[in-house]
Amino acid sequence: MNFAQFMPFRNMRSRLHLAIKRGRLAVLDIGSSKITCLVLKLDPARLAEAGRNDHLGTSLFGAIEVVGGSTVQSRGVRRGEIVDMDEVCRSIRLALLNSEKMAAPKVGRVDQVIVSFSGGKPQSFSTTAEVETETGQVTERDISNVLGACPPPPVGEARQILHAQPVELSVDHQTGITDPRGMTGHKLTVAMHVLTVDARPLSNLMECIRQCDLDLAGVVAAPYASGLSALVEDEQRTGAVCIDMGGGSTSFSVFLRDHLICVEQIRYGGDHVTNDIAAGLLMRSAAAERIKTFYGGVISTGADDRDLIDAPRIGEEESPNRRQISRGMLIGVIRPRVEETFRLVRQRLVELGITEMPGCSIVLTGAASQMPGVDEMATRIMGRRPRIGRPIRIAGLPQSLAGPDFSTVVGLATYALRPHDELWDFAAPRPLSARGRAAEMFRWLKTSW
Amino acid sequence: MREIVPRIAPDEVRPAFNPKPGPEARPKAPPEVRPKARKSPGPSKLTYRLSRAWAKPIVRNAALVYLPLVALAIAGWRVAADDGWRGMIEARFVSVVEQIAARPEFAVRGVSVFGGSDQLQADVRRALDIRPGMSSLKLDVEELRHRAEALGAVEKATVQFDPQGTLRITVVERIAVVLFRRADEVLVMLDKGGVEIGPAGRRADHPELPVILGAGAPDHVGEVIALLGGAPGIMPRLRAFVRVGERRWNLELDRGMTIMLPQTGAVEALSRIMALHYGEELLDRDIVVIDMRLPGRPTLRMKPEAAETYQIRRAVAALGGEDT
């Protein structure tokens, strides 16, 4: 793969390091229905110490504290993609200012921000490469070489790589190696997960962040972030699917052996359910959203036919003889769309062969997973009982931001703490020129003594 | 052949459609105001930038601390450097202070003097010179006390300004115990410590007070009092106590009699004389000087004629004769 194309990502990484050094960072989840911002206070010393001692990062979470957070309605975003840049910028500014105001006693203003990207038709590829080690012992140069030797996936026109993570390094067919440096072996093999998205919405997002005078310290695919916070570590290791049921779209990420191996998106979400209610019952969207939130469900019971709900038609919101419908009727409108969504998810999972994966648990998260009966429906369709995944607790997280609908933004915070190694965290492979040799010798001297 | 070209003046040529309607044309309807699309409640870019700039400590400090300080310093320097300004400010300040001081709440309601004789109280009032209605803010009670104590007749004074607006002055008067005739022949009153109280006027005004004379006499008023206390009967005959050689006293009595007292044991010596007087009318005799300076050897000096008479009597007595 060509390392030169990842220069923007390298810049983001350096900004992230700068933010960690300064001890303050904002994470921003730009979703279709809400924009959530958290201001984090980081402890660089503890972070560095934990990074040395603890490879898995379980002790990391004391190094981070949420000092400000706010969530605002998202305007100008549809299906995770920006359709009105000005509105989105205003919403981002509002969320950031509110969070900064809340964080003002503890940290100053934040400049670096990690954002999530939930649109752009994410597509996962895997690519593998194998090289001979130069010295019979794996060095950093060998790792760079093998990463460079990975054939670029068929990215397609107007698409861009968002994540490229080496998920499996093996030396002489020994798998499960977390750090092969210094190991003896002749063949170094890498399997890499490459996530591509549409380049245009991504650059729109970056432009929005730039217009808000913020430095982009990372762009993370939203389902990946949700998985990072909604899945516990054991699930990430043994294999799990995190289904993030958002407003504009439903997406899922698959984790195995601590690594993200697949991201998919289905373009149905909670907003579609609202639209179904509004169109099917001839209601305003706001009223439809309201009755969905308060009374919605997917599994109807006998009692639901007797529960009457105010469901005013358009124009009769204020009239005394508003229409009333039974809850069962509402469920009857909601159910097909949710069922369709789950069927599509299941179809994708089957296509990917993930249903064959042993011990693969399913975790539902996102705002739409709070609807009663969703887990029951998922059990019926997927054949596995899912768990409703709430984000992991990090210090200072307000209770109002601790529900399943905030797992993406919390996942961004954990990503900021210990990002998985991406391709651009490795040095680019360099030919061993005379100057390169000298530099290599110098580095060897430096590392040895 | 006639021209069939229509005779129309060039200025009358008008296009079929006149885009510029004349003044008689109907006023155009105002353009339809379309409601602006509702914006998101987020802040505008300017607000956002300003508030984020404000979040920077350096900007906030500059705006809240340094800039006002610099402005204040420049303004203060300008004002201080300009005499006109400074004069105006001073005049204004003084006038404000005067106005405040002149308020009736701060006026002195009255002056009351306690202690001492009426004469002394009048003297104290005159010396302090405080009229009711003066501003109490201008009073300096310490200075008033010094002024009151500068009066000779005042031994101690306390000056208080009570919240009701009355100046209360309490004085302790000095009591005259002796008169002192100074070297310049002026008769002054002294208290028991020898402090001068004031001129005494004539001797006859103070018959009850003894007169003392001589250099260093005021420093030993206590001795005079002790002497008088030991011999109160001498007072009617006493003319003056005279300090001799700044070390001892002479008592000048009437009829030219002088009692010379020793430097030490003067009280005992005088008592002895008084005892002699009561027993033998010593002081009524024709004696000029009773010299008690040597304790073991009191000496009398008689008048010359008395001495002569004495000699004659002794001679007659020696002869066994009788007085003629």
pLDDT band at A27 (very low <50, low <70, confident <90, very high): very high
* Contact yes or no for A109 and B56 at CB 8 A: yes
Contact of B56 with chain A, judged by CB distance below 8 Å, is answered with: yes
- Chain A residues within 8 angstroms (CB to CB) of chain B: 72-73, 75-76, 87, 89-94, 97, 100, 104, 108-109, 211-213
What's the CATH number of domain A270-335, 3.30.420.40, 3.90.1150.10, 3.40.50.1970, 3.40.50.300?
Answer: 3.30.420.40
* Contact yes or no for B40 and A108 at CB 8 A: no
Topology (CATH) of B104-173: Ubiquitin-like (UB roll) (3.10.20)
Q: Which of B209, B298, B219 is nearest to B261 (CA)?
A: B298
Given B39, B49, B57, which is nearest A90 (Cβ)? Answer: B39
User: For residue A116, what pLDDT is reported?
Assistant: 92
User: For residue A39, what pLDDT is reported?
Assistant: 92
Structure tokens at A224: 């990946």
User: For residue A344, what pLDDT is reported?
Assistant: 92
Crossing angle of helices A327-352/A270-280, nearest 10°?
Answer: 140
pLDDT at residue B64 above 60? yes
B269 burial class (0-12, 13-18, 19+ CB within 10 angstroms)? buried
* Contact yes or no for A90 and B57 at CB 8 A: no
DSSP secondary structure string for all residues of A289-343? HHHHHHH--SS--GGGGT-EEE-PPTT-SS-SS--EEEHHHHHHHHHHHHHHHHH
pLDDT, averaged across chain A: 85
* Contact yes or no for A90 and B40 at CB 8 A: yes
Q: Is the pTM of this model over 0.80?
A: no
Give me the mean pLDDT over the B144-164 stretch.
Answer: 83
Q: Which range, A75-79, A152-156, A364-368, is most confident?
A: A364-368
pLDDT band at B7 (very low <50, low <70, confident <90, very high): low
Contact of B324 with chain A, judged by CB distance below 8 Å, is answered with: no
Q: Which residues of A touch B39 (CB under 8 A)?
A: 87, 90
Of A34-43, A242-251, B160-169, the least confident:
B160-169
Question: Looking at domain A1-120+199-231+389-449, what is its CATH homologous superfamily?
Answer: ATPase, nucleotide binding domain (3.30.420.40)
Q: Which of B46, B51, B52 to mutate to test the interface with A (most CBs of A within 10 A)?
A: B52
Q: Which range, A145-149, A249-253, B271-275, is most confident?
A: A249-253
Half-sphere exposure of B210 (CA within 13 A, CB side): 29
pLDDT in tens, B73-118: 999 898 888 888 888 888 999 999 988 888 887 888 888 888 878 8
Express the helix, strand and coil content of chain A in percent, nearest 5 each: 45, 25, 30
Domain range list for chain A: 1-120+199-231+389-449, 123-198, 270-335
Please give the helix or strand (H or E) that residue A53 lies within, else none: helix A44-53
Q: Does domain B178-319 have CATH number 3.40.920.10?
A: no
Q: CA of A128 to nearest chain B CA: how many angstroms apart?
A: 46
According to DSSP, the β-strands at A187-198 and A123-132 are antiparallel
pLDDT, averaged across chain B: 81
Q: Which residues of B touch A104 (CB under 8 A)?
A: 55
pLDDT band at B35 (very low <50, low <70, confident <90, very high): low
Q: What is the dihedral of CA B134, B140, B145, B148, to 10 degrees?
A: -40
Fold identical between A1-120+199-231+389-449 and A270-335?
A: yes
Q: CA of B141 to nearest chain A CA: how many angstroms apart?
A: 54
Contact of B36 with chain A, judged by CB distance below 8 Å, is answered with: no
User: For residue A233, what pLDDT is reported?
Assistant: 82
Contact of B199 with chain A, judged by CB distance below 8 Å, is answered with: no
Question: How many A/B residue pairs have CB atoms within 8 Å?
Answer: 45
Let me know: does A326 contact A304? Beta carbons within 8 Å. Answer: yes
pLDDT in tens, A44-75: 777 777 666 655 555 566 678 889 889 998 88
User: For residue A440, what pLDDT is reported?
Assistant: 74
Q: What percent of chain A has pLDDT over 70?
A: 96
Domain range list for chain B: 52-100, 104-173, 178-319
Q: Which residues of A touch B52 (CB under 8 A)?
A: 97, 100, 109, 213
Rounded to whole angstroms, the Cα distance separating A227 from A365 reads: 9
* Contact yes or no for B48 and A213 at CB 8 A: yes
B183 by DSSP, 3-state: which? coil
Q: Which range, A428-432, B20-24, B67-71, B180-184, is most confident?
A: B67-71
Q: Which residues of A touch B45 (CB under 8 A)?
A: 89, 93, 211
User: For residue B33, what pLDDT is reported?
Assistant: 63
pLDDT in tens, A375-388: 889 999 988 888 99
* Contact yes or no for B48 and A212 at CB 8 A: yes
pLDDT in tens, A327-375: 888 888 999 999 999 999 999 888 888 877 777 889 999 888 888 889 8
pLDDT at residue B63 above 80? yes
pLDDT at residue B66 above 90? yes
pLDDT band at A188 (very low <50, low <70, confident <90, very high): confident
Q: Which residues of A touch B44 (CB under 8 A)?
A: 90
What's the ipTM?
0.73
Of A14-28, A84-98, A152-166, B4-18, the least confident:
B4-18
Topology (CATH) of A123-198: Dna Ligase; domain 1 (3.30.1490)
Contact of B48 with chain A, judged by CB distance below 8 Å, is answered with: yes
User: For residue A324, what pLDDT is reported?
Assistant: 86
Rounded to whole angstroms, the Cα distance separating A389 from A229 reads: 8
Of the two residues A95 and B200, the one the predictor is more confident about is: A95
pLDDT at residue A429 above 60? yes
Q: Which residues of B touch A213 (CB under 8 A)?
A: 48-49, 52
DSSP secondary structure string for all residues of B186-220? -EEEE-TT--EEEE---GGG-TTS-EEESTTGGGG
Give me the mean pLDDT over the B12-37 stretch.
Answer: 57
- The Cα angle at residue A82 between residues A79 and A88, in degrees rounded to 5: 115
Residue corresponding to tokens 């009591």: B175
pLDDT at residue B123 above 60? yes
* Contact yes or no for B43 and A90 at CB 8 A: yes
pLDDT in tens, A271-326: 899 999 999 889 988 889 988 989 888 888 878 788 888 888 888 878 888 888 88
Beta strands in chain B (DSSP E): 110-114, 154-161, 166-173, 178-181, 187-190, 196-199, 211-213, 238-244, 248-253, 258-260, 287-291, 299-302
User: For residue A340, what pLDDT is reported?
Assistant: 92
Q: CA of A275 to nearest chain B CA: how many angstroms apart?
A: 21
Given A73, A76, A93, which is nearest B48 (Cβ)? Answer: A93
Let me know: does A114 contact A412? Beta carbons within 8 Å. Answer: yes
* Contact yes or no for B40 and A91 at CB 8 A: yes
Given A91, A100, A109, which is nearest B42 (Cβ)? Answer: A91
Q: Which of B39, B46, B48 to mutate to test the interface with A (most CBs of A within 10 A)?
A: B48
Q: Which residues of B touch A89 (CB under 8 A)?
A: 42, 45
Chain B residue at shortest CA distance from A102? B55
pLDDT band at A431 (very low <50, low <70, confident <90, very high): low
Residue corresponding to tokens 């009967």: B233
* Contact yes or no for B56 and A108 at CB 8 A: yes
* Contact yes or no for A97 and B51 at CB 8 A: yes
pLDDT at residue A189 above 70? yes
pLDDT at residue B6 above 60? no
Let me know: does A231 contact A407? Beta carbons within 8 Å. Answer: no
Chain B residue at shortest CA distance from A208? B45
Rounded to whole angstroms, the Cα distance separating A231 from A390 reads: 8
Of A31-45, A270-284, B21-35, the least confident:
B21-35
Rounded to whole angstroms, the Cα distance separating A396 from A394 reads: 6
**CA-based torsion, B287, B290, B291, B296: positive or negative:** positive
Of the two residues B32 and A218, the one the predictor is more confident about is: A218
Q: Which residues of B touch A211 (CB under 8 A)?
A: 45
A236 by DSSP, 3-state: which? helix
Chain centroid to Cα B44, Å, comes to 71
* Contact yes or no for B45 and A94 at CB 8 A: no
Q: CA of B30 to nearest chain A CA: how many angstroms apart?
A: 29
pLDDT at residue B23 above 80? no
pLDDT in tens, A377-422: 999 998 888 899 888 888 888 888 888 889 999 999 888 877 777 7
Chain A residue at shortest CA distance from B53? A109
Q: CA of B61 to nearest chain A CA: how many angstroms apart?
A: 13
